[in-house]
Amino acid sequence: MEKDVKQPEEQVEKLDEVPVPEGQAEHKPEKKEKKLKHADSKLKEENQKLAEQIKQLQSDNQALMDKVKLTQAELVNYRKRKDEETQNMLKFANQDLVTELINVVDNFERAIKLDDNDLTDEVSKFLDGFKMMYANLTEILKKFGVEEINRVGEVFDPSQEQALMTDSIPEMDDDVVTEVLLKGYKLNGRVIRPASVKVNSK
């Protein structure tokens, strides 16, 4: 008696016909949707964290940039101050020497005020030599930025002059310098000795 032999094609057909449990096919899309929602929520959370980190980094970067700019500005100001100090130091480095030389100039001026007519020929020759040395010394001082303060006829200025005496000249206004008793001097624009003067007071 012949047995029925099942062909492979028939077996495949029967496998395809295996029934799917009820409800299983329906739940798969829901699970996928939940997974997608969860992934989307996580992605948004990570994006928010990254955005906050970027914001913080930008803030830190701006703070550092501001600090660098401030440091650069301070450095520029420091250099300017140091340059000014150096220039002033060089400009007035000779002040003490000039002040001493001014006293020598005062002595020369007293000497050359002598009346030539009342002197012997020999003393007169010495006086001529003094005058030459005086002229030479004043020229040297000028080269180094020394200038006299002589403001006769101008209103008294306490920053450049000191009033030692008063005059009473009717045709002149009050507080006008009438005479210089002792010359004052400036070194490169800075008063190193104020002039001693007479001031008019009616």
pLDDT tens digit sequence for 177-190: 999 999 999 999 99
Q: Are strands 190-193 and 161-167 parallel, antiparallel or unpaired?
A: unpaired
Q: What is the token pair recorded at 192?
A: 């190193």
- Tens digits of residue pLDDT in 15-42: 445 454 555 544 566 767 777 777 778 8
Secondary structure of residue 163 in the 3-state scheme: strand
Q: Residue ranges of the domains in the chain?
A: 27-89, 95-144, 146-202
Fold of 146-202: Nucleotide Exchange Factor Grpe; Chain A, domain 2 (2.30.22)
Q: What is the token pair recorded at 146?
A: 């020394």
- Tens digits of residue pLDDT in 112-146: 887 666 667 777 788 888 889 999 999 999 999 99
| φ, ψ for residue 167, nearest 5 deg | -115, 165
What is the pLDDT, as a whole number, of residue 28?
61
